[in-house]
Structure formats: C-alpha cells, structure tokens
Structure 1
Amino acid sequence: MSEPVRSTPGSLPLSRLAEPLLRRLSELLDRAAPGKGWRDLAQRAGSRGRVRLSPLDLEQCSLKVLEPEGSPSWSLLKLLGDRGCTVVELVEFLQALEHTEALQCLSHSGIKIVVQPDSQAVLSGQVVKLCCWATGHPFVHYQWFKQEKEVPHGNSPELVLNPVNVNDSGFYICRVNSESSFVFSRWARLEVCDLQGTSHGSLIGLPENKLRICIQPQPQNLTVGDALVLECGAVGNPIPHYQWFRNGFPLANGSKNVYMVTYADVEHQGTYWCHVFNDREDQDSKKIEVIIEDLSDLQKPADLQEQSNHRPVGLLYYAGHGYENYGNSFMVPIDAPNPYRSANCLCVQNILKLMQEKETGLNVFLLDMCRKRNEYDDTILILDALKVTANIVFGYATCQGAEAFEIQQSGLANGIFMKFLKDRLLEDKKITVLLDEVAEDMGKCHLTKGKQALEIRSSLSEKRALTDPIQQTASSAESLARNLQWAKAHELPESMYLEFKCGVQIQLGFAAEFSNVMIIYTRIVKKPPEIVVCRAYVTDFALDLDVDPKEANKGTPEETGSYLVSKDLPKHCLYTRLSSLQKLREHLIFTVCLHYEYPGIEDTMDERKEVNVGKPLIAKLGLHHGFKNNNCVQTCCMANNPFHNQIESSPVAAKYYVPSHCQPNSCPGTYHPNRICSDSIRQPETCSCNGTSRVLPSRHEVLNYSPPVEKSNVPVETTDDTVELEFLLSDNLRFSEQQ
C-alpha cells in the first residue's frame, strides 16, 4: 500500500483531466454561440477571487488564433488549471453559461456510480453486505473507508462483514478511481444492535431487511431529580428512524433511539412509547408507564421549602460584540448605529440590578465579548448602587482592555471561551471552581496565549453550581399566562405537500432552531419518470426577515448557517434559514418555485406556488413594535439558481447578519443594510476592534463556503452525534492511489 494522501471529493484539479478531453472541451468553446464561448467562461472564472484573470491573460489567449492549430480555449483551460481551478468549479461555470454540450462531454468522461451503499441497522452476528457498483473508462478501482480509515481488503465493489459486531458500527464510504479522476459514493451508516444476554428468538428467521424492534423500553419508577432514560432499538433496511411519544403527543427532542431527561420532574411522568419507521414500514414499541415521585415535601422543613422556593437563579450568557468603559460592560445589539455609544447598548450592571430586585439566590454572568474601550463613547454612567450580596459571579472571556476571539473547529465557529466552557458545563462543581478549570484549559491553547485569558470576578460565599436543581414556585395566574405565551411562541407551521401541474409533488417542512429562527426545507417526494432534473426553491421573503440569499436553498443545514438542529432534520432536502421572526408584522408568505427539465429539451420549465403559513413561532406574539416596516421582498438566490437573474437585476437590498465579535458595519459577516445580493466576493476578513487583521478565523469564514447543490454527497458532523459527517470525515479521509 502506498503512502496515504489527503483529498476531498470533487477536488480534482482541472490540470489533471486527460488531454483528449481538454482538447474536446476547447473545440466546443472555440466554436460556441455568443454567450457560451471562452471569453464568457473567462469572465465567469475571473469573478472568483483566487483565479484573478488579468486583461493581459485574456489578450495572450486571444492571440492563439494567430498560431497554427492555436486555440484560445485550450490556452484558457490550461491557465485555469495552473491556477488551481477544479473540475467542480469548471462545471459550475459551464452550468452558468448553459453550455449543455460541454457539460455532457465532462459527464460522459467521468465515473458513474450505478449502485449506492445503503444505510442499515442489523443484529450482531449477521452477515452484512455494503455494495457500490460503478462504470468508468477504461475500468474502475474500489476503495472502502470506515470514516477516515481505510478498510483492510476493502478493494471490491462489495464489502462483506461476516459476522458483523458492534465495533463495526459507523459510517462507510467507497472511493471509486479511474485513470484520470475519482468520485465518492454516498455515506452509508451501519448500526449494529447487540442483544447479548437478552432473548431475541422472535427475530430469528425474519427477512434481513425487515423492520423489527429488538430492544423495548422498560417501565420506570423514579423520584424528582433522577435521570429518565428510555431506550428503543430496531433493525431494518432502510435504516430505522425514531419518534418518542408521551401521552399521545410527540416529544420535541425524541428523534433518537434513546430518550433522556437529565433531571426528571413530576411533569415528565406518563405513558411513553416509541414509533419506529423507515421508507417502507413502521412499528410501535410497547407502551410503558413512567412514575415520578416528589419526596421534597417530606424531606424539607416548611420554612426551608418556603425559602428555597423564592430564591431563583439569574443567568446571563452573551456572545457578540461588546466593550467596557469606566468599569461598566456594554453589550452591542446587531442593529446598533456606527459609531455606537452606551445609549445604543445594554449595560450588564443594569441587568445585575434587575436580577437583584428579584432576590435571586445566584447571579451568573458569562460574557463572551471584547472588553476594549470604546473611543467614541465618553459618557460616564451614574448607576444606582448595587446591593452588597455574596451571590455574584462574573466570567469574562477576556481581560479588561483585551479582545475575545473565535476559533474554527469541525465546521463550527465558537468563541474561545465557549469552546472550553461547553466541555465542563454539566460538571457538578462550584461555579467558581468550574470557571477556574476553564481558565486553565484556555491557558493551554497556543492560539490565544498572550492575547486572551479568562477573568473571573466573584463574591460567592455558598457552594452553588450550574447543575443545581431549579426551584419552582407554585403555579400562579401570571406564570400560567407566561407558560402559555412561551408555548405559543414555539408553534411551527404544519408540514405540507404541494402538487404541481407537471405531476411533481414536494414536501414543505419546518423546524425551529430558536423561537425566532426557523428552517424551511423542501424535498421532492414524487416525480414523473419523464422529468430528468427537478428542484424546488423557496423565495420572495419580506425584508422584515433576515434571510441571506447567498445561504438559502442549500444542500445541508450547515451551509445556511444552522448547526444546532441539523441532526434532527430530514436528509436530501434544500434548506433555508429565516431569522428575526420577531420583526414579522404580517403572515409569512413566500413562493415555492419548481424548476424541472425534460430529456432532449434544453429549455427549463418553471412553476410557482404562493404559500401562506401564518405567523410562525415568536411572530405570533407580535413583538415587532419599534421595528421599521419594509414591504419589499428578497429572493433567495444561489449559484445556478434559475431565478438568480431576477435578483441580479433588482435594486432591492438584501439584509443579513452572521454573528461575529466584530463591530457592526466594519467587519464582514455583520449587518449591512445596503448590501446588494450579487455574485461578488465579500470583502477580506478583518476586525476593526483594533484596526488590525484578525489572528483567528471569524465565524463568517466558516459560513462562507457553499459547495454546489447536489455536488457533495458526504455528510457533515456538526455535533457530538455522528449523524452528519461529510466535511469532517472527508477532510481527514486518507486513501491509497491505485492505477
């Protein structure tokens, strides 16, 4: 086996294409119709910042017509290849030019996977076969990987695990090689259920692909404060999905085979069961009872109960831009003017005063923000005196007068403080002890040594931890009304199906990331066989909402800027993220656009449907007062979007915001009210907190990568759950060249 090298799917350099193929592409471009020739290709490629084609480059390509057998297109393709242009990028450019013949030339020369490996859940001891069959010229080689590690002897189209065991669980992918290129199969997830010590005679003799529940949930008798853990396991192909129910209602966080509540209360008791399903069949687990006793009334004296019931905890976590003047800390809203002053910001010390008025038992402030002085603000605030209490803890991400940075890891951007804090949040330790350990962890990070250090300020005299149980008062009319409002602010539109005249049916679904952030996803569920290409986009949103058109209708939730709910969303959809729903004055109305093609017809067909989903999530509460109304619409455009030309010619400005620690209107990724949606490259990454370039990548850099829709077929890992592993695994994928 040769030395492994690092690569990612679709990153084949243009310079590595076979010479006959480059010659054929050159001929097609040289004699192309206006708008599809080599100059048009050069213009598209030159808009990419790293290619940078100069007028001299174009002149040299043009002069090739004076040479015998000279070709401007050949010269351009060689030039693009030398400057790192990839085959995927060339395909993007040709799609934008609608050069069908050149695209067919590329597709016919490549590898085509005709059988993809299937995800499946099986019993330990069974024989498992993962299949990947492909065609290519003159022949193809196969290479299987389990996550980023090569599978020994996995060099055939069928990977057989006989017998399979729990250690074989994971994600598998096959790399198919030909002489000039390679492609990856889709990821196949293998779950192996181990029933050692339990009886599973009822499963013996069943067809291998049959959906069956092999681990049933068990009844629970708990006391308040215990952990509730329910497990359901199933086997089948396609791989099973799970949805837990309590008293007949689906549970919001119940889409995994294990349902867990870390701190169970009496409200969690009831009748539970799990609905298991895949694309072919479904089955319910047995129904079990969960009983939770509250022993606190028997264990606590009456006066102690009364005292603890009226000592709530005040906790503020903030990540964003901030500053500190004269000992007061200020949090800067995303829509603050530039320059901003204290009157435009929230003072942390004022929030502490409000907490103290509620007679809180513990006040914790975790501030992931810069603490440099604001040179535009000379105001000295005269604040009311704070109470002298022994229950205050401040955890500052950085020292006074210093900046707070972000770091990129596994496709996510976190503040340095949060990166280390989240690893210890659930530790049952005094909050000051926990923060001390976070400070030690941060001190070992070589990226920020000498630049950022955690600062802790505390007057805490009790042993209080973030894991302390929350003491609740008896239900009052006020608390009941607040709970009803809270529930109302988390109501999503129901999933719906749309039928188009051409016979295509799509599913339109919704998910909540926060009470003011919603994900819309579209999926083709039925397509007539005579239609060869079919995509559904959402567009025409009111500018009351913050929708970044460049990050809409994407192939993964992460490409839209959503990382928190990606594991719970259905796969193989297009996703759009809507934020600032609190600004929505009217019903949410948008357009679903269907784009499809018939074989042998170059023209694309379009159909549109207007959808009204009412007021979703927090928009139901009408919290838009004070926001400027804007009746214009913005179109969610993207590379190769058939409706992109509409937005390019429109004067409507697209507003969007990507969280960052940089000052508004001075760093990329922040709120720009006058930015026009276009294909232009965004400005270089800088941070104006001190007028110098940033030491570490900003959050915008993480979100700015948008691979072509349906070009990448590898999952993305965004959480500890390995449902999505595309970019992490692909970035670490090692393989051996086989010729």
Structure 2
Amino acid sequence: MHTTSSIRNLILISEVPQEILNRLISYLRNDGESGWRTLVYHLQQRDHLFSEDEINSFETIHAPTLVIEGLKKRNKTVDYLLSFLHLLPCRCAAEKLANDLWMLEKSQQKFMSTPMPECSKYSSVGPSYVPNGHSTHAQPNHLFDQAMFSSLNNLNKPSKPYISIMKQPTPQSVKIGDDLMLVCKAEGDPVPVHYQWYKDGHMLPNQNKHVLMIGETLLEHQGFYYCHLRSPNPPAVEKRTDEVFVSVVLAPSATPFCATNKVALLIANEHYAHNPRLPATSHDIRALTKILQEDLGFKTLSFTNLTYTNMMSAFILFKDLVSSGCYCVFYFGGHGYENDGKCFLVPIEAPPDYQNHDCVQAQSELENVKRRGDPNLMLILLDICRKRNPMNPTSHQSNGSSFADKVVFAYATTESAEAYEKYGEKHGIFVDSLRKHLTTPIRVNHMLSDVQDEIKKSDVQISEVKSTLSENRCLTDKIQLNDVKAIKAYKEVDRIWNSLHFTPLPVLLKFEACDAEVTISFTNILTNAVNISVNVIKCGKGVECKPFICTNYFGNLVVSHCSSEFEPQSCQVSNLEHLQEHLPVTVGFRYKFPSEEQWHLLRYTYSMRLPFIKLWNDAKPKRS
C-alpha cells in the first residue's frame, strides 16, 4: 500500500488543470524575491534542471509559463514543485497551489467526511502541510483524487486557524536622516503571528516584527511597503497588509507642492564621426545621472553617443515614463546650434556641414513629451552652442518655444554664443556648476540663478534661463500618490524603468580541469552601458587562476574604463542599442598547476539577454 507521501509523488504537474497552473503563474510573475527568478535559482542550485539556452529564453514576459512548461516536460510532480515553492520567502504561491488542488478535490464531492478550514487569498490548507497517516474511508479510483484524499483526511483541528489584521500600516512622508516607522498589528490562532516586511516586492532582512523601524532614512528607502503575516504551525494561514507608499523628502520644502513621479532623459554625445570630439560629456552625464537618481529620486534614462534614429527612440521611451503631475528633466550635452529661436541637437553621425534635417529639433520633441504626460514641472538643460548655423537659410521669423506654463529652459550659454569645455577639466563649465546646486531645496528658477552666478566666474560664457513656471516648485519636492490612478501610473513607470535597466544575477562558471569557480557580474552604469566584472570564487589547491574579459569580442560596441589594458577583470560596455538579440560576453581563464611553468587557457561565452534590447527595438521610429 502506498503511503500518503509516495502517492502524492506520483501526481504529475501535467495532470493539474491549466486553470490552476495559470493562477500559480500569475503569483510567480514578478521580479521580487518570491518570483520566478528565485524559483529557477533554487531549481538550478539543487538539480541543475534547465540548460543555459532555456534560462536565456526565460528573459521574457512569458518566463513563469516557460518555467512551468519545462517542469511538465520533465514529468515533475506536484510534490516536487511544492518543495521548491516553499523555499520562497513568501509562501503564497505554494499555499495557493495547495489550496487550489484541495478546492478541485472538494468540487468533485466524492470523499469529504469532515469540514475543511476556510481558505482565503492569503490562507490555505494543502497536502504539503498534512501529517502522514492512513484514511479509514473508501478510497477513490483516480490516482489524483486518491492522493488529495489521503493527504486531506488527516486534518483533525478543533478550531479554524485565522489571522485578523487589527492595524494596517499607513502612508508616510519622511525627511532624509529622520527615522521611518511603519506599524502593523494582527491577532490569530495559533499564536504567535509571524511578521515579515517587504519593500517593492523584495523581502527586507531582519525586519520580522510588527513594527518596521529604519533609522536615518535615505532616498533609497522610498517605495511601496507591506507586511506579510503567517501563522506559526500548519495548517498555515497567510495574509498581507495593505501596500503603502513611503515618500522620502530631501529637505523641508518651501511649499506644499509635490510630484506624482520624477523622470529624466539625459543624452551625451562625445564621439562624433565627422565633428570634433567632446570628452567632457561622458563625465557630465554620469555626474548628473548620479545626482538625479541617488540624491533627488529621479528615474533616469541616460544614453551616450546616439545617432539620429536612436535619439528619436530615446524620446519615445521617455514619453512612456512621463505621467500626469510628474516632474521631468531633459539634458543634452553635445554639438548643437540655434536658428530662429529653435535649438537643434546634433547626432553622432551628422555630416560636417549638417543642416536642420540632419538634427533633432529639441523644442518639437519636448512639446510632444509634455502633451503626452502633462508634467507639473519640466526642466530642460541644453549644454550646446547657440550660434546660428550658416548652412541653413534665415527665415527672419522668431519661432521659439510655444510651451505653456510649468517649463524652465536653462541654456549653457546665451543666444549666438558658444559653450565651452575647459582643457584638462573633467566636467564642462555648465555641468560643473549645475552639480553644485541641483540639490538645493529652493524654487527651480532660484536654483538656476545660483548656477548662472557660478558660471559667470569662468569668464568664458554666461548661462541663460527662460521660464514659464509660475509655481514655487523645487527638484527636491517629495513624491506623493493621492489616488488609484497615480499609484497605477507610478507602478507602470517603475515596471518599464526596471525592465530597461535589468541585468542578470551573477553567473557561476565551473572549470573542472583545475577545480575553479568564477563569477561574471553585471551592473548598470547608464541605460545603454553596463559594467562587467569577473572574480575568482574558488581555485584548486596550489593552482594559479587569472580570469579576464575578452574585450575584442564585443563587435561594434564601445569598451572603456577597463581595469587594465591587458586582459582586464572589469570593463564598461556601451552602446547596447546596437545589439539585436543578446550581449555575448566572452571570459578567458588562465590557470597553471604548481608543477608546471606553462599557463593553460580556456574560454567561455555567456549570452547575456537583456529586456532593454527588445524594448529599444520596439521603440525604433520610422524616419520620414
């Protein structure tokens, strides 16, 4: 006779109705620590279940479906899947699957002999929580029913387990440096109730009390929080509190104004095919990205060295991030000019005698952005020359900006003048002044006035500011979400931005010839640039190991910031927009045994699949 456990081991995932699997898939469709990525990680750690090609294929919106299909093809059982689902920090997916299977058995109305505890969205009873034992009732004929029956008939609880939330956490607005406190209170049976706090879907380590305390709050603590509640013993009951938004304020605001989100598009063109190089721009964009993102809470799209078509693609992506009531910033550093009040931004492939049709007309594209999202503040920073382009005829008309209110233009220089980079200086004059004042908690116009005063000290150029902003808005204003529409828009922007900046988890390479292990790690530098590094985790006894990145395998991508000229262990790879499918990363590995003088060489190529590539290709415009 089969035991309960052995019978359940025979239930194949392929026997489970697709409707139940679809609900499980919806639980796993997130990038948090309780999503499909963590499930795949545990499957690989223990059983090396999927091939590299299969793992690469998971980097799509259909990833959870492909994972479940992979398990079905391998004839894995429900019990096998549950054993891994229980390893996730949030066990809602495991509980939901177990509950759905029990509800399926109940709906057949064959073998129920005792009432079952009620189940809700966050509470369930399933086979993985029932002690082994033998049923005294008539056995069903179908193997699936038999397993469910054997597992479920062992329950003998005198009362129904429950969790009741007595106090929900509330939205907070805290200043940087202050303490953040969120409170959740619950009662239940059995006791005590276990608490676990999450931020943006990720479990917070060591935050497992009913009060969440964070001392000296930083901008990175801004986001959505909730607490996951769980009863201590089986049959398990789980609940989740309301999700609340915590806004972190840089400094006390001069007014009660706030934003629904903060987004920025930054483009820096340094390497021109037919025009002089501008070396400071690559440093400028990194400095501004860091300040806007880390100090002011902006979601930044940052690109270097874009062609005309790619600049238009960047504007299309930017429009997807702009929503009603947000603050948005646009920055361009590179060659440019101004004709009839309109500024033209020069792409990297423009000919030396470029004309209007070779360039991007800034005001036109930014007006499209503003119409799309209706931001409450639009700051436009143009680090370009504003001299007339003699290659274009003069229209003798002033066709300047037709923007409505809430827009501020800050030019690196005045009309008909040039913008400069100081020889030997890391940053251009305009950005060097900007980065000193952007985080000042005063009205944007007043902040830019301080920038103008700073630039005057250079005795080279004078900045100009034009504004239709009538309100006292600051870049330091907090983000506040007051309605469902604003919350939905914020989360959608967050989803798009995270997809554009996704990088895979570190990849572990094993070289059995010398008992060595090496990791390849990836970090976003800009939206179209990634830092790649290799590190030795383990090397055989007495063996010398030297991993390195093969920089000559990146094709037409730009490789820079290498840790060394020869066989570097880290480097930055830019212009990811040139990729069509994936980024091939080739790692070289040199090793030498103690008794040998000759080095051995191995190579391994990892195909790095990035959601950015598909999103970028989808945004490519058709140039008329």
TM range (shorter): 0.3 to 0.5
Relative contact order higher in (CA < 8 Å, ≥ 6 apart)? 1
The normalised TM-score by structure 2 is 0.46
* Structure whose residues are more often helix by fraction: 2
